[in-house]
Each structure stands twice: as structure tokens, then as C-alpha cells.
Amino acid sequence: MEQASEPRGMLQACALWRKQDRNGKTYYTGPMGGLQVFVFPNTKKEKQEQPDARIVIAQREFKKEGGPAGGEMFDGDTPGGGEGYEPGQDG
């Protein structure tokens, strides 16, 4: 499969997949090395100046010993459940 070329001066950081949390809200996630990237839409946006989405990065957890090449990623709950999540908050 041929990959699309990136615009000049840009590099692809990772690929994201659309998922739904346990409340049915959509978010995007994908691996980036030993990290897991999450993109949550801002469902509370009221003004044009507010962001449309937030990016949250977490260390990846694995079911088996090993690293990104040797273990399976643990697909548990998303950090903070997605909506209204602020980095530094627990669940």
C-alpha cells in the first residue's frame, strides 16, 4: 500500500483511530512510540476563541512484558473519560 506524501516540511507523528467511550462520545487515539495519543473534541465550546479539540498524551500500558514491539497495548478506559478532561486530573 502506498502512503500519501506529506506536505513539504511536515512529518507524520502518528495515525489515529476513531473510538467511542463508554458514554458513546467519540474520540481519536493512536500509538506514538511508547506513548498513546488521545484527541478529545471540545463538547463544551461556547466561543470561537475556545479550542475545538484537546490532545492528551499518556504512557502506554501493556498486558504482557515487553515494549511497543513486544506487548499488546492495554485498551482500558480513556484518561478522565474524555469529556472535560484536563491534564493532571485523575479519572
pTM attached to this predicted model: 0.62
81: helix, coil or strand?
Answer: helix
Does residue 1 surpass a pLDDT of 70? Answer: no
Note whether residue 85 is domain-resident: no
Task: Output the pLDDT for position 12.
Answer: 92
**Range with the lowest mean pLDDT among 2-6, 10-14, 60-64?**
2-6
Q: Which domain holds residue 54?
A: 17-78
CA distance 1 to 5: 12
Query: Regarding beta strands 53-59 and 35-41, do their DSSP bridges make them parallel or antiparallel, or are they unpaired?
Result: antiparallel
Contact 78, 21 (CB under 8 A): yes
Total domains in the chain come to: 1
Examine residue 70 and state whether it is found in any structural domain, yes or no: yes
Does residue 88 register a pLDDT over 50?
no
**Does a structural domain hold residue 41?**
yes
Domain membership of residue 43 (yes or no) is yes
Confidence band (pLDDT; 50, 70, 90) for 61? Answer: confident
Residue 91 lies in a domain: no
Strand order across the beta sheet in which 26-32 lies: 17-20, 26-32, 35-41, 53-59
